Structure 1
Amino acid sequence: MFTFHTPAITDSIQPFYIRSTSTPKPEDITLVAFVPQDELSELVSLVERFPGPISVVLHIEQPSDIPGASNPKKRLSAMWASNPKVREQVDIHLMTTPVTHRQAAVQQQANLHRNLARFFARSDYVLLMDSDGSLPTTNVARSFEQHPQWMEKLKAGNVFVLPGFNVSTTTTATSQDDTSATDVGLVPALSVANLPTDKESLLGYIREGQVSLSEKTWKKTIRNVDFNAWASQTRLSAIQNYDPYFSPSVVMRRDKMLWCPERFGDNHAACMFELYLSGADFWVLPNDFSVNAATRPEIVVSDREQMINTRLYQKFHEESCLKHARAFYAAGEWDSDRARHCRISCQKVLAVWGLVIRQA
């Protein structure tokens, strides 16, 4: 963590700029997230949807003393004073862009934000949300309380996936068939206040076309999670045929797990892929999910930036395979069950480098 950042950036971080009035228990699940300075209202949405502790990074790009600039600190203080849930649940860690970096065109540092919010969480387990403004709309902590065997898997270093969904951006209802989409009529837009809070309601909204499958979890070319199977699923299911572009929100241990690589401005998939190669099993939660209500403006990436990011991630894929393979070889664990993800996912990469691959 912080490998690719200068002292000017790390010195601009103020942990626990505001500390919640409650103290989380070690076994609690803390939601970790990033909130932009212009999207402070998301804090209210988070505390309304998530009943547990929350660790949030607030990144201020410009100081409030610049004429015409917004004053996020003042707005945050007003929200803190007026909302008892925010006071009780939310730890806020403040990050201010240094003067030397304010004129530079720098990508959103979401991987750094994820690491900071997770690092300063005060419980042993975290719900790591994507940086697109998605909300957990079910009580994840209650699900783990009701299934002690899940908590044992979590303690052992496994990762639990929350399938992701989007509020439809069109008022035209469409079928969710994998091969085609047929207009079936007009439906009213779904408001944030009416987001589904249970699986039955969610499936109804999907049938009506008001909620769609998120490509980050359900991309047609990625068979990590099969929607038709999940719709009737009542038990945990293990992810098969892992794809390095898989990018879900997950529940995981706060410590003893790899950190998000900060060379990327925003690449949640890189965080997940490293965890998978290191030996963590990914389990899909049968009744919990997240929904992106499309309230946060989408970050526009130029074609050039997209090309650079694609090439950088391809190199990262190869590098990660080699790093973890060498670590398993050095520890004498290449044939172990823990190394099976690396053996299977990295066959082509390791074959190019002349390493012997044996199927699990």
Structure 2
Amino acid sequence: MGPSKVIPYYFKASENFDHEEITMATLVTYNRFKVLARLASHYRGPISVALHVNDDEDKYQIISDLHDLFAENEDMRRYVDLHLVVDKFDRQFNMWRNVAKFFARTDFIMMLDVDFYLCTDFRESLKKEPELMNILRAGKGAIVVPAFEYINEADGEDWNVFPTNKKDLLVDVKADRLDMFHRSWTRGHGSTDYEKWYKSTKPYKVTDYNYSYEPYVIFKKEGTPWCDERFVGYGANKAACLYEIYLAGIDYWVLPSDFLIHQTHHYPEDTRAKERTYNKKLYDYYREEACLRYARLMIANNEWNTAKSENLKNECGRLRGFNDVIEKIIEQHEEL
């Protein structure tokens, strides 16, 4: 799309963080400043955020307001590394996600949308799961924190009354006030298996993966795939990030007692509909390309007959003609 001016650590957090802390890697635009400040004061841990500013006459006012935001909130100064992205290209969500990830200063990140409220302390929960922590350290697992939203949007506007434990959450679920995030698009979060989660007391592995799955996950920063920056605008952008993570041999594990709730935020629906149509077509081509790219890499690295390739085999084997192509690639590899 053209060059973007990226200014890393335009503001740099004053706190020093343990390398095994979880950095919230997120993105924000001008209209979400207050939500970012709320996240900083609530999480009180490392945050790496990419802020996009349009390169026009309004940028000076935005930068001024940004300075005011940091001056007014000590938690912003203590916990937030903010990286400016200045260009004329709106909604480059995956590019912004990559910036936030690249400049994160801890071993683990959580790819979070800033509108989600952290209802529970998943950092403490993970510390009590040594096997899960070892999977995370080895870069073999991504930890899912289930996402919810209120059915009546007005109920999701006041985060002060959100449930803060699973027992209270289930009361609202049974009363049909809360449900899985975007329940009208089951493929987006359905692989988490919410019915199983309601009853679970131990972490469990996602077994019914769908290529549209886009949970909010904690994973190792180093050695994990980046988000494909061809996805611009709404639709499939986050799913593409999670798809590539899955193909790389990283399994999804769900925390049994932790959750996030969406804080009601209204979107430009006309724009979303148009961009989703374009990105859906792009995603179809991208999936084929990603499958072949990772398959060739695993074959070249003699990893094709290891556990690392199982996710790829299960998912990509559904693509028409994929297995035939792979057989030929394996034959060529064996002849070398």
Q: Would the TM-score normalized by the shorter structure come out above 0.5?
A: yes
* Alpha-carbon separation, structure 2, partners of 1:217 and 1:303: 15
Determine which structure has the larger helix proportion and give its number: 2
Provide Cα deviations, 1:176-219, integer angstroms capped at 9, x if missing partner: xxxxxxxxxxxx66612222222122212222333221137981
Q: Which residue of 1 aligns with 2:313?
A: 343
- Structure 2 residues not aligned, in runs of 5+: 328-336
Report if the CA contact (8 A) 1:162-1:250 is conserved.
yes
Q: Given residue 239 of structure 1, which amino acid in structure 2 is its aligned partner?
A: V
> Is the counterpart of residue 79 in structure 1 residue 69 in structure 2?
yes
Q: 1:229 to 1:251 in 2, by over 3 A?
A: same
Q: 1:219 to 1:58 in 2, by over 3 A?
A: same
Provide Cα deviations, 1:295-320, integer angstroms capped at 9, x if missing partner: 35355436553332111100111111
- What is the number of residues matched between the two proteins? 323
**Aligned ranges 1:252-271 → 2 under 5 Å:** 252-266=219-233, 267-271=237-241
Q: Which residue of 1 aligns with 2:333?
A: none
**Aligned ranges 1:253-292 → 2 under 5 Å:** 253-266=220-233, 267-292=237-262
What is the deviation of 1:322? 1.1
Provide Cα deviations, 1:221-255, integer angstroms capped at 9, x if missing partner: 97512212101211111011211100111000111
Report if the CA contact (8 A) 1:46-1:135 is conserved.
yes
What is the deviation of 1:292? 0.9
3-state DSSP of counterpart to 2:319? helix
3-state DSSP of counterpart to 1:21? coil
1:294 is aligned, of 254, 264, 268, to: 264
Report if the CA contact (8 A) 1:137-1:290 is conserved.
yes
Report if the CA contact (8 A) 2:156-2:263 is conserved.
no
Report if the CA contact (8 A) 1:134-1:291 is conserved.
yes
Report if the CA contact (8 A) 1:135-1:290 is conserved.
yes
Task: Say what the alpha-carbon RMSD is for the aligned residues.
Answer: 2.4
3-state DSSP of counterpart to 2:229? coil
Q: 1:244 to 1:326 in 2, by over 3 A?
A: same
Report if the CA contact (8 A) 2:17-2:46 is conserved.
yes
**Aligned ranges 1:1-360 → 2 under 5 Å:** 6=2, 8-9=3-4, 12-63=5-56, 65-66=57-58, 71-97=61-87, 102=88, 106-130=89-113, 133-157=115-139, 158-169=141-152, 191-215=158-182, 219=186, 223-266=190-233, 267-295=237-265, 297-298=267-268, 300-301=270-271, 303-349=273-319, 351-352=321-322, 354-355=324-325
Report if the CA contact (8 A) 2:188-2:212 is conserved.
no
Point out the more displaced range, 75-84 or 271-280.
75-84
Structure 1: 4+ residue segments shifted above 4 A: 220-223
Q: Given residue 127 of structure 1, which amino acid in structure 2 is its aligned partner?
A: M
* Alpha-carbon separation, structure 1, partners of 2:189 and 2:264: 23
Report if the CA contact (8 A) 1:236-1:284 is conserved.
yes
Q: Which residue of 2 aligns with 1:185?
A: none
* Alpha-carbon separation, structure 1, partners of 2:60 and 2:172: 37
Q: Given residue 164 of structure 1, which amino acid in structure 2 is its aligned partner?
A: A
* Alpha-carbon separation, structure 1, partners of 2:157 and 2:41: 17
Q: Given residue 149 of structure 2, which amino acid in structure 1 is its aligned partner?
A: N
Provide Cα deviations, 1:77-125, integer angstroms capped at 9, x if missing partner: 222122111111111111111xxxx3xxx55111011110111011110
What is the deviation of 1:349? 2.3
Provide Cα deviations, 1:19-57, integer angstroms capped at 9, x if missing partner: 111111111111111111121001122123323111111
Q: 1:35 to 1:139 in 2, by over 3 A?
A: same
- Structure 1 residues not aligned, in runs of 5+: 172-187
What is the deviation of 1:15? 0.3
3-state DSSP of counterpart to 2:32? coil
Report if the CA contact (8 A) 2:316-2:322 is conserved.
no
* Alpha-carbon separation, structure 2, partners of 1:285 and 1:234: 9
Q: 1:356 to 1:94 in 2, by over 3 A?
A: closer
Q: Which residue of 1 aligns with 2:334?
A: none
3-state DSSP of counterpart to 1:17? strand
* Alpha-carbon separation, structure 2, partners of 1:325 and 1:298: 38
Point out the more displaced range, 137-146 or 273-282.
137-146
* Alpha-carbon separation, structure 2, partners of 1:24 and 1:298: 37
Report if the CA contact (8 A) 1:16-1:93 is conserved.
yes
